[in-house]
Chain A
Amino acid sequence: MAETTQGTGGLKYDSSKRSWPNEFNIFIALVIIVAIFELLGQVLPYMNGQSFLFDTNDRFDSIFNEARLQIIILQVAIIGIISLGVTQVIISGGIDLSSGPLVAATAMIVMSFAQTELVNGNPNPKAVFGPWAFDLPVLVPIIVGLAFGAFIGAINGSLIAFTRIPPFIATLGMFLICRGIAQWWTRGQPVSFPTESYAALGAGMMPVVWFVLLAILCHVLLRYTVYGKHTYAIGSNEDAARMSGINVKRHKVMVYMIASMLAAFAAIVLSSKNLTAQSGMGLFYELYAIAMAVIGGVSLTGGRGSIIGTVLGAMVFGVIQSGFTYVKLDAYFQIMAMGAIIIGAVVLDKWRQQRSSMRI
């Protein structure tokens, strides 16, 4: 044998050497933010001691203010579905700016395949197509929507993989194209009056159900499948991935397709929930989805992040938004504050990276 100065010891799994999971930090941040709002409610004179989290007026069976919690998760669920896809794109080293307008375009198209013939006994005033498109089975709009999402995602991915233009530019172009499609589809007219079965897709707490189901699915995809491993590998070191025999181009197309299909599904849920589709919907959704991912610890340089993190990021996002309303912060300031939080999250990520690279 060779001189065994190196030894073979120390190969066991050593839990003490395992680093603190990043998701835990985000969870702690979530708790701290809730505590801050709770404190503000007690301290600010105009709040009259209202509680943020707890049911002080005894309106519900549990000790929590269920109405507020419901609003929070319902608010983040739909953008949350988008951010599940955006998370995968960012982990693969890309970015997707087209998801907001894609939601609008998909909603417009999908809704025109989901209309009923008669509204209160009168013909549907917002009909887009002729009689053939009325009262179609609910699967038709769903398939049309997912196919449109897959198509847009395939274009995004192919542009990025084969022409090698930066993802920022490719998806920014698609951002405008999709907004254009949304406005052109009905010349700016909203599309309304869906069938009952379509309206059921986003009714009540259904958006949350979809969000949870899709989050579990995406978590399994990223953590336990070859697809997920290669997504991390490409975002971490694209050259290494290529040299290891991964078909990087094909994989990127796949990642963007999955992301756009998730955004398209969010459009279905949103239009079903609102019972209408408008060309202006999904405003800022792409940025909010990116923000949720970044707050959840997904690194904008690729290779790092998780679905659990993004779900927690979405919760943080929802709590902050709801908290701003709770402390009666002006709506204009809310948008500004949201911007500041996104910048702050990226700065934090930068620091984390510098710290971990100094450990080498």
Chain B
Amino acid sequence: MSDIILETRNLTKHYGGVHALQDANFTLRKGEHVAIMGDNGAGKSTFVRQITGVEQPTRGEIHFDGKPVQFAGPLDAREAGIEAVFQNLALADDLDVSDNLFLGREKTKFDWLGPFRFLDYKAMRNDTIAALEKTAVKIPNIRNTIQNMSGGQRQCVAIARTATFHSKLTIMDEPTAALGVQETAQVENIIRTLKEQGEPLILISHNMRQVMDLVDRIVVFRRGRICANLRKEETDGQDVVAYITGAKTQPEYEVAEAL
């Protein structure tokens, strides 16, 4: 029990009449890398938005690190230790690498000044370098603004946030969707580094080769429900596609389909 980092019970989200997510029961163990797959609109992103606090679920429970949690916002989830790398990256183009890494939780001095408290640039730069080294990310100059960086470097900066804040769970929503071959390889290397360091990860991806390469387990979403939970060793690409398209459903998830 204690090695479960994240568990959701009957997690449900309705947008008005649209049942975007229905009774999702999901568990993730410490050190485990799990991929979430599914067609567009299958509920993957909705699921992620619930566990990262971007939205509040209609129904259901989230247990994180052994405790039931309710996140009022993304910052809550982040403080609890869930770090998400979103599709749109959430980086500010005109700020440099360490500014982006620490955006919203800057290291400060003279805290009695309230909103006008001073930034501790030196501490933040040092931590940034340490984080980039930990993830083996290569960035030519951390004082460059993000604007002049390649898509891969931007992605690396977003991922380096995870390492900086010693998060307990990393979630990546299609981290390589917009990247070239080399940059994709770079991001995949970072994911492997996280695996070696025993950091749990939820990866949302459409890329079958990548998923088969990187994760231990694949959870398939279809029409707002989980329809399969597959160990990588016991499945293959064709099998997963069959679950995604609806040709197959695992027996234990059948009930839901009948409704």
Query: What's the Cα separation between A360 and B105 when bound, in Å?
Result: 28
Q: Mark B239-250, 1 if CB is under 8 A from A, else 0.
A: 000000000000
Q: Mark B94-128, 1 if CB is under 8 A from A, else 0.
A: 11000100011110100001011111000000000
- Please determine whether A232 and B95 come into contact, CB atoms closer than 8 angstroms: yes
Name the CB-closest residue of B to A237. B92
- Please determine whether B138 and A226 come into contact, CB atoms closer than 8 angstroms: no
Query: What's the Cα separation between A241 and B75 when bound, in Å?
Result: 11
Interface membership of A62, Cβ < 8 A: no
- Please determine whether B93 and A225 come into contact, CB atoms closer than 8 angstroms: no
Interface-side segment among B34-42, B143-151, B199-207: B143-151
- Please determine whether B94 and A236 come into contact, CB atoms closer than 8 angstroms: yes
Name the CB-closest residue of A to B52. A243
Interface membership of A5, Cβ < 8 A: yes
Query: What's the Cα separation between A236 and B103 when bound, in Å?
Result: 12
Interface membership of A45, Cβ < 8 A: no
Query: What's the Cα separation between A244 and B103 when bound, in Å?
Result: 6
A232 with B92: in contact, given A8-B132, A244-B103, A360-B150 (CB under 8 Å)?
A: yes
Interface-side segment among A10-18, A202-210, A308-316: A10-18
Interface membership of B230, Cβ < 8 A: no
Interface membership of A6, Cβ < 8 A: yes
Interface membership of A359, Cβ < 8 A: yes
B229: min CB distance to chain A, Å: 27
B81: min CB distance to chain A, Å: 14
Query: What's the Cα separation between A178 and B257 when bound, in Å?
Result: 63
Interface membership of B142, Cβ < 8 A: yes
Query: What's the Cα separation between A246 and B74 when bound, in Å?
Result: 10
Interface membership of B177, Cβ < 8 A: no
- Please determine whether A13 and B103 come into contact, CB atoms closer than 8 angstroms: no
Q: Mark B59-99, 1 if CB is under 8 A from A, else 0.
A: 00000000000000111001000000010111111110001
Chain A residues whose CB sits within 8 angstroms of the CB of B150 once the complex forms: 360
Query: What's the Cα separation between A243 and B91 when bound, in Å?
Result: 10
Query: What's the Cα separation between A227 and B93 when bound, in Å?
Result: 18
- Please determine whether A6 and B137 come into contact, CB atoms closer than 8 angstroms: yes
Interface membership of B192, Cβ < 8 A: yes
- Please determine whether B119 and A239 come into contact, CB atoms closer than 8 angstroms: no
Query: What's the Cα separation between A273 and B258 when bound, in Å?
Result: 81
List residues of B (116-173) whose CB comes within 8 Å of A's CBs. 116-119, 129, 132-133, 136-144, 147-151
Interface membership of B196, Cβ < 8 A: yes
Q: Which of B138, B150, B186 has the most CB of A within 10 A?
A: B138
Chain A residues whose CB sits within 8 angstroms of the CB of B148 once the complex forms: 19, 356, 359-360
- Please determine whether A244 and B129 come into contact, CB atoms closer than 8 angstroms: no
- Please determine whether A237 and B91 come into contact, CB atoms closer than 8 angstroms: yes
Query: What's the Cα separation between A3 and B193 when bound, in Å?
Result: 9
Interface secondary structure of A, over-half rule = loop
Interface range for A: 35 or more
Query: What's the Cα separation between A8 and B91 when bound, in Å?
Result: 22
Chain A residues whose CB sits within 8 angstroms of the CB of B94 once the complex forms: 232, 235-236, 303-304
Chain B residues whose CB sits within 8 angstroms of the CB of A246 once the complex forms: 103-104
Partner of A240, one of B54, B90, B106: B90
- Please determine whether B132 and A11 come into contact, CB atoms closer than 8 angstroms: yes
Name the CB-closest residue of A to B136. A6
Chain B residues whose CB sits within 8 angstroms of the CB of A30 once the complex forms: none
Interface membership of B45, Cβ < 8 A: no
Partner of A8, one of B108, B138, B143, B144: B138
Interface range for B: 35 or more
- Please determine whether B95 and A233 come into contact, CB atoms closer than 8 angstroms: yes
Query: What's the Cα separation between A13 and B126 when bound, in Å?
Result: 11
Interface membership of A254, Cβ < 8 A: yes
Chain B residues whose CB sits within 8 angstroms of the CB of A235 once the complex forms: 94
Interface membership of A7, Cβ < 8 A: yes
- Please determine whether A239 and B88 come into contact, CB atoms closer than 8 angstroms: yes
B110: min CB distance to chain A, Å: 9
Interface membership of B189, Cβ < 8 A: yes
- Please determine whether A2 and B103 come into contact, CB atoms closer than 8 angstroms: no
B134: min CB distance to chain A, Å: 9
Chain B residues whose CB sits within 8 angstroms of the CB of A19 once the complex forms: 144, 148
Interface membership of A357, Cβ < 8 A: yes
- Please determine whether A245 and B105 come into contact, CB atoms closer than 8 angstroms: yes
A226: min CB distance to chain B, Å: 5
- Please determine whether B88 and A10 come into contact, CB atoms closer than 8 angstroms: no
A251: min CB distance to chain B, Å: 8
Chain A residues whose CB sits within 8 angstroms of the CB of B139 once the complex forms: 10-11
Interface membership of A229, Cβ < 8 A: yes
Partner of A226, one of B73, B117, B141, B149: B117
- Please determine whether B74 and A17 come into contact, CB atoms closer than 8 angstroms: no
- Please determine whether A236 and B93 come into contact, CB atoms closer than 8 angstroms: yes
Name the CB-closest residue of A to B75. A245
Name the CB-closest residue of A to B153. A360
B135: min CB distance to chain A, Å: 9
B188: min CB distance to chain A, Å: 9
Query: What's the Cα separation between A17 and B139 when bound, in Å?
Result: 12
Interface membership of A1, Cβ < 8 A: yes
Residues of A with Cβ closer than 8 Å to B? 1-11, 13-14, 17-19, 221, 224-227, 229, 232-233, 235-237, 239-241, 243-246, 251, 254, 303-304, 356-357, 359-360
14 contacts across the A-B interface (CB closer than 8 A) = A10-B139, A14-B140, A225-B117, A226-B118, A226-B119, A227-B115, A229-B119, A241-B92, A244-B90, A244-B104, A245-B104, A245-B105, A246-B103, A360-B147
